[in-house]
Chain A
């Protein structure tokens, strides 16, 4: 029921504003519609994405938290676990019955105890440590494995792009 979804989302928003995790800002796009959020994720330090600010949007289903939200970066990304259209491929965003690749155990998948904060933290750690086994972006996975230097170069360009800087 949407009422409980709404209460839960409001509680999460409150918690995120009172006690924001480092490097993450998230909230509803407008206060009229709590089922669509925007998040800003800063690239984790010590990685090739360091310094970048990556915007993403989250769409929540009416039966949240029983079903996971959908998350999509709205800036250009080049990462083994992010599809070309920006959708994020991490296991906690997959519904329990849903297993597109066939090798996730159900323990890694969505459960109502997860939250926006946990999703965003997982995305940060995904940025830091790509999982090249699930190939959402095959080219990126290949480059990550075989030509790290080139990968870092592309990542740096993306970081500059998100900050509005001209390419070096």
Chain B
């Protein structure tokens, strides 16, 4: 969307920008100084000031003018002019002259950018590529949404108001980006082996700084927003609150990690649940407030707002569903797999087979293998079998016991189905964190147990599709699964040139694949990234025979395409018969949260 567009803009680097800004400022200051030291100007302004103050008639004007002129002439020639007085004069002149004022604003932004640079150097060092990319995306998204807010929702008319809002959002956005960086960096630090304590200390320091700065902004909101209107104050406060909650969440993770609370434990789970729901709730209220406040007819702004609202509702829904699944899983575990007794744990000399760490308390599976509660909990979401002996865990073991859990899960599953039927799947999670699954698995519906092509179903966006694919293989097989025929949405075929471009793109990475196969695959997936992923995951069969049967894409189901490509090869006959038995349906499974 706007991000992609803006990304291509050539932005000057910080050095050039700073140099340019300083140059502009010095030109402006020089101009201001030269103008203000001109006696005529001084006389003129003083005159105006006096005129305004006194409001006198024209009779005295000439006299006053002459007085002022002589006095200023005296002052400048004598060189006794006060420095501060001159400074004040220069400043007032610059504030009145629009061009000069813009240079001052520009230098303020430049200063902020420099400050940001210093903070980045001090706290983060060199940014990793992913972090830089995330910050960039976040920045442009922020600018886009705030633009909509200022001009679409508030409908600001006057320049000074625009400037005030710009200042506000600049500071806020700055803190927002810092909070985002902290979050990314925390996740990185928690997954790298030897991090120094000062890396953590600096990060925590920055988090504190963000909190304090947010409080200052909030105070500003109270001072500036409350006298204006209550709505303005609410808007400002909500924005502050979002940043504070985000920063507090990262801090809370620090605390949890320091106390070595495992992510699957209830304490950690409920902490995350709390923060997630508060953040979502505040944001939802904020957007609803905007919609109500602006009270507008169909316009671009309302469209964007409604889209955001829908996104937030989906996210909230997904979060609640995950919570239901979590409770279902927890109750299932506690009912069917009892905690091992003290003697059993003591008798068992081995470490937990999942994390290789010693066990103080453990859960016991029917096959009498012991695991940590949290380790087992996470594994069972993926595969309902004992990790050690691979014995299947029977869901029906405690007939009545499992029923409740299954009922809840079934309800959630039905919800997932409904989502899929309704149209596009829910939008990507707000924080696609790789390390904390609490962030990563807002999606409950996954494409499960695919026939070879199921993963290659076209999706609305690459990122979404990739997200689904990456989660494809996890499901809880002891929960009821749903097998549904998904009616295929006919999409407009891509233009030949588009496909050709993508084929070249993919071939640059995988020269061993022929253009024909890739074209067929791309016509199907409609995205180079998805195709590459398919190749990497091994879903696209290895390079085809030199003369693949030319099949017009679209006429065949992907499965048939796959078979056509390989027809005439005896080696594939076995696979072919296997494939033929599978109808190209899409199976939707419910997936437990990755706790």
Say yes or no: A97-B436 contact (C-beta < 8 A), given A66-B379, A102-B578. no
Q: Bin the interface of chain B by size.
A: 35 or more
A32 within 8 A of B: yes
Min C-beta distance of A57 to chain B, whole Å: 13
Check A62–B379 contact: CB distance below 8 A. Answer: no
B551 within 8 A of A: no
Say yes or no: A97-B474 contact (C-beta < 8 A), given A4-B262, A84-B543, A103-B578. yes
A101 within 8 A of B: yes
A22 within 8 A of B: no
Chain A residues within 8 Å of chain B by Cβ, number:
47
Check B542–A137 contact: CB distance below 8 A. Answer: yes
Check B257–A3 contact: CB distance below 8 A. Answer: yes
Min C-beta distance of A93 to chain B, whole Å: 10
Check B437–A97 contact: CB distance below 8 A. Answer: no
A111 within 8 A of B: yes
Check B387–A33 contact: CB distance below 8 A. Answer: no
Check A112–B387 contact: CB distance below 8 A. Answer: yes
Give the most central of A5, A11, A84, A85: most B CB within 10 Å.
A85
Check A1–B473 contact: CB distance below 8 A. Answer: no
A154 within 8 A of B: no
Min C-beta distance of A34 to chain B, whole Å: 5
Chain A residues within an 8 Å CB radius of B585: none
Proximity string of chain A (119-144) to chain B, C-beta cutoff 8 Å, 1 when within and 0 when not: 00000000000000101111001100
Q: Which residue of B lies closest to A97 (CB)?
A: B473
The A-contacting residues of B in range 475-499, CB under 8 angstroms, are 475, 477
Min C-beta distance of B255 to chain A, whole Å: 14
A165 within 8 A of B: no
Proximity string of chain A (1-39) to chain B, C-beta cutoff 8 Å, 1 when within and 0 when not: 111111110111000000000000000000111110000
Q: For A3, give its contact among B191, B474, B477 (CB under 8 Å).
A: B191
The B-contacting residues of A in range 86-124, CB under 8 angstroms, are 87, 89, 95-103, 106-107, 111-113
Say yes or no: A83-B434 contact (C-beta < 8 A), given A97-B474, A111-B387. no
B448 within 8 A of A: yes
A149 within 8 A of B: no
CA A62 – CA B437 in complex, angstroms? 10
Proximity string of chain B (17-49) to chain A, C-beta cutoff 8 Å, 1 when within and 0 when not: 000000000000000000000000000000000
Say yes or no: A98-B472 contact (C-beta < 8 A), given A66-B382, A135-B571. yes
A69 within 8 A of B: no
Chain B residues within an 8 Å CB radius of A3: 190-191, 257
Give the most central of A4, A7, A10, A35: most B CB within 10 Å.
A4
The B-contacting residues of A in range 35-72, CB under 8 angstroms, are 35, 62-63, 65-67
The A-contacting residues of B in range 536-595, CB under 8 angstroms, are 538-539, 542-543, 569, 571-572, 574-575, 578-579, 582, 594
Q: For B473, give its contact among A11, A96, A101 (CB under 8 Å).
A: A96
B157 within 8 A of A: no
CA A63 – CA B472 in complex, angstroms? 15
Check A111–B390 contact: CB distance below 8 A. Answer: yes
CA A11 – CA B353 in complex, angstroms? 12
CA A101 – CA B379 in complex, angstroms? 23
Min C-beta distance of B335 to chain A, whole Å: 23
Check A97–B193 contact: CB distance below 8 A. Answer: no
Check B354–A65 contact: CB distance below 8 A. Answer: yes
Q: Which residue of A lies closest to B354 (CB)?
A: A112
Check A62–B452 contact: CB distance below 8 A. Answer: no
Q: Which residue of B lies closest to A35 (CB)?
A: B191
Say yes or no: A10-B578 contact (C-beta < 8 A), given A1-B435, A4-B262, A85-B510. no
7 tightest Cβ-Cβ pairs between the two chains A and B: A2-B191, A96-B383, A97-B473, A2-B435, A98-B473, A112-B354, A1-B263
In the complex, 16 of the A-B residue pairs with CB atoms within 8 angstroms, ordered by the A residue number, are A1-B437, A2-B434, A32-B192, A32-B194, A34-B193, A83-B538, A83-B542, A84-B512, A87-B538, A101-B575, A102-B579, A106-B385, A111-B385, A137-B542, A138-B569, A141-B571
